[in-house]
Homo-oligomer: A and B are copies of this chain.
Amino acid sequence: MKFRWPHRNHAKAIAERQAYLRALPQMEQSGQEIFSWSLGPERLASFQECLTGEMVLPVGVIGPLVIDMGIYERDEAHQLQEIGRHADRVFVPVAHTEGGLSESMLRGMRVIDLAGGVKTWLLQDEMTRDCAFVFSTAAEAVRLARWCAQEESHLKAWINNPDHQDKGAVRAAISRHAQLLRIRTRVVGPVCHVLYGFDTQEACGPNMMTRNAYALNEYIVNALSSEGLVPHQIFLEANLGGDKKPSYEYFAGGHGKTVVAEVVLPDDVVARHLHTTPQGLQMLEWVGLHGAHASGMQSFGFTPASAIAAIFAATGQDLGMVGTSSMAQATVSRTPEGTAFSITLGGIEVGTVGGGTQLPHAQQYLQMMQCQGPGSSKRLAQIIGASALALEISAAASMASRGSENFFRTHWQRGGLR
């Protein structure tokens, strides 16, 4: 009989797994940190199955990040409106092992501070789930697409109203936290992709939108069957939803929070603190943008993923979303006041509740950034956008020095001589 590995997290199962792994011959000469606990299984068992231990990452905190960010609410038409702005000084936790990264981000934050701070805006806040309705013919798929266009407002009223009588069996499954913003469709042969766009509030939201998409699908199937339109199959996600795979479709927004961050650096700050020139920075941007284009790179930036990953790891975000959340378009340009740096991050997929954000350390790091309660996910996304910009500035400056000596030296020293 095949050996079966237990997946449950009761004490006995955890002990069995640990014992089995300890007994592997290769573990004899190994340290035992992976079998001891800092937090303990009772605080970790709810996060994943097959628990055996922990992973400890070093965390640095960098700041202050001087930031002027927007405060947003949706109007009656579900449009995001900026209802105010808020200036703050934030300390940002980063969990990573890339020598030089924290120092580089710190340098970026320092020049931002010297320039009076970074400004951020939230342009869009939406999570999309793509459910594929498979028919025999495009004729049927077109019919569903038209039906959705006509019924969009009814579908929104139905799913978004918690007291709607007509929800029946799926009622329990519907999350009140995911508000349906819009429905788009895409016909690909006999398949009609129905793209549900949700506001998932303080959560990143993949689970809650899956639940509500499921309920909407039930509603649609019931409504269509009376018209003789019955799909053979429905897939709850069929790749037009953008989950964890970078795509052009969501480069501009629609899967996470679309944030713009900008700072204008006076020339003397560039000279004294970044040790380069505005011309050098512009030249680098021009060469790098053409390079990105030549490379078939969807994003343009220097290294936003480094900042995104480090903050995601510290705050318990889903690390599988690092690639999608790092899709970016950065700019360097001249203004009368100095050199403007901006970055647009198309879809930062973050939450302040649910998932890994409930980890003890994550909770405390979120608290440190005052990212708890209503509006906190929008605040967090803006802090992340601003932090990514800080890194862009510093990394670009290192690269823009002649022969990239600074960049080289930093990596050589910090990365060690290997």
Contact = CB atoms under 8 A, between A and B. Distances in A.
A228 interface: no
A238 B251 CA distance: 18
Interface string A227-238: 000000111111
A397 interface: no
A187 B110 CA distance: 26
A113 interface: yes
A59 to B, nearest CB: 5
B306 A244 contact: yes
A297 B247 contact: yes
Nearest to A107: B7
Given A298-B296, A305-B244, A344-B188, A59 B63 contact: no
Given A297-B245, A320-B308, A103 B233 contact: no
Interface in A181-228: 186-191, 193, 203, 206-208, 210-211, 214, 217
A165 interface: no
Interface string A343-373: 0100000000111101111111101101000
B106 A5 contact: yes
Interface string A20-47: 0100101101111110001100001111
Contact of A322 (B56, B322, B353): B322
A260 B187 contact: yes
A324 to B, nearest CB: 7
Given A50-B60, A136-B336, A138-B331, 4 more contacts: A54-B361, A233-B283, A236-B399, A246-B297
